[in-house]
Amino acid sequence: MQFIDVTTDFAFKKVFGSQQSKDILISFLNALLNFGNHPIVNLTIVDPYQAPLVATLKNTFVDIKAYLDNGTQVIIEMQVLNQAGFDKRVLSNVAKAYITQLEKGDKYTELNPAIGLTVTDFVMFPQKQLESQVITDYTFLERHHKVPYPEEMRLVFVELPKFEKKLRQLKGMADKWIYFVKNVGSMKSLPKTLANDKDINQALTIANTTSLTLKELELQEKKLRWLREQKDNLARAEQAEADLEAALEKAKAEKQAVLEKAKAEKQAALKNAEAEKQAVLEKAKAEKQAALKNAEAEKQAVLEKAKAEKQTALKNAEAEKQQVEAEKQQVEAEKQAALKKAKNAEKAAKLQIAKQMLQAHADIAFIRQVTGLKKVEITKLKE
């Protein structure tokens, strides 16, 4: 027994989007969208080609489109390749399905909710808080208080790589349908865990290769081959991107190493320059101190020499002074001697005059008046 891989758009549409797949799709959507107490009881599968009402909008091709009995649109897409901008495409598809409901003159109150259910064969949300969450469900929320906006548009994602349960671990229909989508292409027999549910059993019947025409098998093979080629291309692109990233990281590391080396060399150069500067300053300081010391010594020598010269000059001046004093004393002595001699000569002359006047019988009083001698001196001359 062999089953087709339903991750191709052809097989996915074959199992879930054919006209005989209505009950299968209802079970699938009720399991994954979890409408709670208001499950889907009826829906209409329509042509998934969305021709935009506005000429400037891009045409959109989705895998399956259905209208629920309450008017809600559901767009179901199986995506194997992680193409650039896929997240925006999903949002665009749902927004387009929502806004193209109205024609001119229609009221906004006639708008019905739109839901996008996307099954991916790659991890779309690698964030740590979502790394083990297989089903993620997005609606509009107020940014600060997380109050929900009326649920007019909703995005639900099922990431197959995050689903790691084995058959014995399956609990509930959501687990069974996700296991079916992820593993049906590799199953070789009909597991009882899945076959016990009539809708999954019906899906397995449709997915059985024996129920397909040769043309359908060929188309499925072409789809698988094309997906393998695209995966290989993506893998090469991712590898090239990884290589580029590695090269950039290497270049960044090398640049950082160069910068670190340059920084270290700069620091070493600054350190050496600082050391050299310090050495120059120390040398200049030592030379300055030596120069000051020499200048002080020279100053001291000059002062000592000046002091010695001053002392010699003072000594010479003192000697000269003493000599002058001696000469002065000598002159004074000579003067005194000359004065004494002159005085003696004058007195002798007076005495001679007095003597002569005595001889001329001059009166002693008269003699005293003329010579200025004392009476005793005059009297003594008579003897």
- Mean pLDDT per segment of 10 residues, for the chain of length 383 residues? 87 89 94 91 76 40 83 93 90 92 87 95 94 94 93 95 94 95 90 89 88 76 74 70 82 87 87 87 87 86 85 84 84 82 84 85 86 83 77
Q: What pLDDT, on a 0 to 100 scale, did the predictor assign at position 59?
A: 39
Positive or negative, the CA dihedral 33, 35, 41, 44 is negative
Q: What pLDDT, on a 0 to 100 scale, did the predictor assign at position 49?
A: 44
For residue 158, give the H/E element and its range: strand 153-159
Q: At a CB cut-off of 8 Å and minimum separation 6, what does 31 contact? A: 172, 173, 174, 176, 177
> Taking the CA atoms of the chain, what radius of gyration do you get in angstroms?
67
Q: What pLDDT, on a 0 to 100 scale, did the predictor assign at position 203?
A: 93
Q: What pLDDT, on a 0 to 100 scale, did the predictor assign at position 191?
A: 87
Give the start-to-end residue ranges of the domains of the chain: 9-212
Q: What pLDDT, on a 0 to 100 scale, did the predictor assign at position 341?
A: 85
Q: How far apart are CA 191 and CA 193, in angstroms?
A: 5
Using DSSP's 3-state secondary structure scheme, residue 213 falls into coil
| C-alpha distances out from residue 326 to 86, 313, 319, Å | 132, 19, 10
Q: What pLDDT, on a 0 to 100 scale, did the predictor assign at position 238?
A: 66
Using DSSP's 3-state secondary structure scheme, residue 100 falls into coil
Burial class (CB in 10 A: 0-12, 13-18, 19+), 283: exposed
Q: What pLDDT, on a 0 to 100 scale, did the predictor assign at position 96?
A: 92
